[in-house]
Chains A and B, each alone.
Chain A
Amino acid sequence: MPTPSAGQQRSARPAGDYVFLNLPYDAQFEPLFLAYIAGVSAFGLLPRTPLEIPGGGRRLDNIFDQLRSCRYSIHDLSRVQVSRTAPRTPRFNMPFELGLAVAHQKAGGTHTWFVFEQVAHRLSKSLSDLDGSEVYLHHGKPNGVLAELGNAFIRSGRQPTLDQMRAIYRGLRRAKPTILHESGAKTLFAARPFKDLSTLASALADEVILGSHR
């Protein structure tokens, strides 16, 4: 169980809790990226990613500040293999940011972290320090992400069903060309498309979960 915060208080609490999304940003991961945004919004939570952080300043400090402002964090460790292009390297950003979240929570921060993976039992090989921690397996599928988010979070009264989360996800997929066109971006992994997607997902959740679309 995460320990409750001893001293960390935010002066102005946001409406809803922030969720720090620590995800790989590659084209193959795009459907899961949309699923995370859809699922998190379906629970009435606010997604945040380092994509929002502008250049300049020390990136690590900005990432840690953003992480500390979030009540929850989700760390997807699906990309632990080495890259195909030279120089062939694994990607350390995700495990590193997970380490920051664990350290923040251990230091008394009000924070709960979740680890998501694609392959069963791989984490015990790639990051055995987390043995005994709960791992949420999505099997590389958007439906898997949505189902596991339903296992990670529970909201009394307004618990979204898997079908409702799927409806939000499908809405985001349909809106992708419009979002890219209007933001002038080539990829969804940029600040403006992410903000648009998050706001859109929230608007879809208003319709689907809070009830005007029934």
Chain B
Amino acid sequence: MPRQVKLAGKFATADDTARALGVPASRRDKLKELALTVLPRRAPKSAPNGVKPAASAPGAQVAVKSRTKKSSRNAHTKRRATKKR
């Protein structure tokens, strides 16, 4: 079998798929709406030269440093307390 098959047919849109599978138009429209709600939010775009936008730029996502887990912090405090004694 070939490693890669070149597709020449038309790109099937949601309308084509719904028609082919017998999905009613009302259901198709509902699924189209659902598609818009479940799409992952896009990350801030990189500049064409590959440089990421500055964190201070408007709309840029600022990475929040994750906090240490509480259990880990408690264990650390416990170790320190033991040492002092």
Contacts and interface: CB of A to CB of B under 8 A. Distances in A.
Are A and B associated in one complex? yes
A79 interface: no
Interface stretch (A55-63, A83-91, A206-214): A206-214
Interface residues of A, number: 52
A200 B34 contact: yes
Given A170-B40, A199-B21, A207-B36, A134 B14 contact: no
Interface stretch (A25-33, A40-48, A118-126): A40-48
Contacts of A200: 14, 31, 34-35, 38
A213 B39 contact: yes
Contacts of A187: none
A204 B36 CA distance: 8
A151 B4 contact: yes
B20 A46 contact: yes
B5 A153 contact: yes
B5 to A, nearest CB: 6
Interface residues of B, number: 32
A173 B18 CA distance: 19
A185 interface: no
Interface string B6-24: 1101111110111111110
A113 interface: yes
Contact of A199 (B1, B4, B23): B23
Contacts of B14: 199-200, 202-203, 205-206
A178 B31 CA distance: 10
B2 A203 contact: no
B13 A174 contact: no
B34 A202 contact: no
A210 B17 CA distance: 15
A199 B31 contact: yes
A18 interface: yes
Given A154-B7, A155-B7, A167 B40 contact: yes
Interface in A178-214: 178, 195-196, 198-210, 213-214
Nearest to B7: A155
B17 A41 contact: yes
B43 to A, nearest CB: 10
A209 B13 CA distance: 10
B56 to A, nearest CB: 24
Contact of B31 (A15, A112, A134, A196): A196
B67 interface: no
Interface of B: 1-7, 9-14, 16-23, 27-28, 31-32, 34-36, 38-40, 42
12 contacts: A2-B2, A16-B12, A44-B13, A52-B21, A134-B1, A151-B4, A153-B7, A199-B31, A200-B38, A207-B36, A209-B11, A214-B42
